[in-house]
Amino acid sequence: MKFNKYRISHYFIFSISGLNYLIAILLNSFFRRKNNKIMLFGHKLVGNLEAIFKDTRLGENNFFYMTLNYRDYLYLKKIHGNKIATPLNIFHLLNGLRCKIVITSHGIFLHNTIKKLGIKTILCGHAIDAAIPKNKEKIIRYFELFDEVWLHSPYHEKIVSRELLCKSSNLNMIGYPRNQLLIENNRSKEDLKIKNNLDGKKVILYAPTSNRGDKNYIKSEFSPFNINFYKFMKEELLNSNIVLIVKTHLNDIISEEINALVKKEKNIFFKEDMNIIYDYDLMILSDVLVTDLSTIYVDYLLLEKPIYIIDNPDPDPSTERSSILKYIDLPKIHNEEELKSFILKLKDDKLESENIINLKNNIYGNLNHLKTIEKINQTLSSDSK
């Protein structure tokens, strides 16, 4: 959850949470008590955090998840009970700051301070690093704060060491747990389609990057925030067995006008309309991925299915991209005619996928994804001895 200066509720949430956090740190500094719990912390319970939280092979670990988003807290608490916490409750924070490990997908408030409480901190990012900051020293210091930084793949290791210039000894090329689940659950594609009444359908997963509030991106031709894109797709998919599922980036909001239009359509859905267990189940049930400047294509390579890059403008043109987004050797869609051609190729089972295996091998090398959860278990159990 990012602070939004235009939302009054955020001032309340961040003020109360911050005050509780400081009080909890102070109390735990004087009355040091430890528990055997592991706190997961991030913007949303999706991706790697979701995989760690739910996978039964990690069940011997005492996990709980803390969220800044109070709506998420109320929703998740109904499902998972006392395994969900909020910083608005000081007792939850006291409990959290007595845990043995914090695993985060983004960052930790007052990181240096909580490490003095004897808590081990682990970064398991939400994605392979896609940006090169102007101040590389800042990102290096950020990585060095953690006891461990779990890396996505051998290519991720190259980006961190050669492009971000980070040589920290805490880097651990363990792989991402969500990718192990992606490979293991790939065989459930048809079951997922049946579960969502999509059996016999060809599914396009459209998963673009965050709009970052950029008006140029939001109003662009193929933007998921432009109602004309949906009107175009409605006509192109009419009377076909092709379905479009739109998976917007976390916290991006679709207008009520677009939601009302899509609700009436039989061939267009949003992620929220799908009956899935894991966020990445959408990748499994789809037949092709369409994306733009998003690293989702990197994980999708593991499924060895076609991937197309749609020519949306960069929502953050001032940011330098890492090589994972600078050089994407995949077929492109530049205009409506090429999008129509893409749909025809899908109908005829003639989509391009020649370079998928080469890209996959270049990024992942000989990484054994099926050992990731086992490695995580070994890491976490070693800290309980």
> Could you tell me if residue 1 is inside a domain?
no
Contact 109, 68 (CB under 8 A): no
Residue 170's closest CA among 157, 180, 179? Answer: 157
Contact 207, 296 (CB under 8 A): yes
Q: Which helix (H) or strand (E) holds 194?
A: helix 189-195
How do beta strands 62-66 and 84-85 pair? parallel
> Could you tell me if residue 235 is inside a domain?
yes
Q: Please indicate, yes or no, whether residues 151 and 282 belong to a single structural domain of this protein.
A: no
SS3 229: helix
Q: Please indicate, yes or no, whether residues 161 and 298 belong to a single structural domain of this protein.
A: no
Beta bridge partners of 41: 66, 104
Q: Please indicate, yes or no, whether residues 162 and 278 belong to a single structural domain of this protein.
A: no
> Could you tell me if residue 137 is inside a domain?
yes
> Could you tell me if residue 3 is inside a domain?
no
How do beta strands 171-172 and 202-206 pair? unpaired
Q: Please indicate, yes or no, whether residues 206 and 171 belong to a single structural domain of this protein.
A: no
> Could you tell me if residue 83 is inside a domain?
yes
Contact 323, 354 (CB under 8 A): no
Q: Which tokens hold the place of 33?
A: 């008590």
SS3 237: helix
For residues 311 and 334, what is the distance between their CA atoms, to the nearest angstrom? Answer: 5
Q: Please indicate, yes or no, whether residues 107 and 232 belong to a single structural domain of this protein.
A: no
pLDDT in tens, the chain (385 residues): 555 555 666 566 668 777 877 888 888 777 667 788 999 998 899 999 999 999 999 988 999 999 988 889 999 999 999 999 998 889 998 888 889 999 999 888 889 888 888 899 999 999 999 999 999 999 999 999 999 999 999 999 999 999 999 999 999 999 999 999 999 999 999 999 999 999 999 999 999 999 999 999 999 999 999 999 999 999 999 999 999 999 999 879 999 999 999 999 999 999 999 999 998 999 999 999 999 999 999 999 999 999 999 999 999 999 999 999 998 999 999 999 999 999 999 999 999 898 999 999 999 999 999 999 999 999 998 765 4
Q: Please indicate, yes or no, whether residues 200 and 276 belong to a single structural domain of this protein.
A: yes
Q: Which tokens hold the place of 6?
A: 């235009």
> Could you tell me if residue 2 is inside a domain?
no
Contacts of residue 358, Cβ cutoff 8 Å, sequence gap at least 6: none
Q: Please indicate, yes or no, whether residues 324 and 194 belong to a single structural domain of this protein.
A: yes
Q: Please indicate, yes or no, whether residues 215 and 357 belong to a single structural domain of this protein.
A: yes
Q: Please indicate, yes or no, whether residues 14 and 92 belong to a single structural domain of this protein.
A: yes
> Could you tell me if residue 155 is inside a domain?
yes
The confidence score (pLDDT) of residue 15 equals: 81
Q: Please indicate, yes or no, whether residues 343 and 195 belong to a single structural domain of this protein.
A: yes
Domain ranges, residue 129: 8-181+368-382
Residue 285's closest CA among 355, 349, 194? Answer: 194
> Could you tell me if residue 106 is inside a domain?
yes
Q: What is the DSSP letter of 44?
A: S
- Which CATH number goes with the domain that contains 288? 3.40.50.12580
Q: Please indicate, yes or no, whether residues 15 and 154 belong to a single structural domain of this protein.
A: yes
Q: Please indicate, yes or no, whether residues 203 and 171 belong to a single structural domain of this protein.
A: no
- Which CATH number goes with the domain that contains 166? 3.40.50.11820
Domain count, the chain: 2
Beta bridge partners of 246: 206, 270
User: Burial level of 351, CB count in 10 A (0-12/13-18/19+)?
Assistant: middle
The confidence score (pLDDT) of residue 43 equals: 86
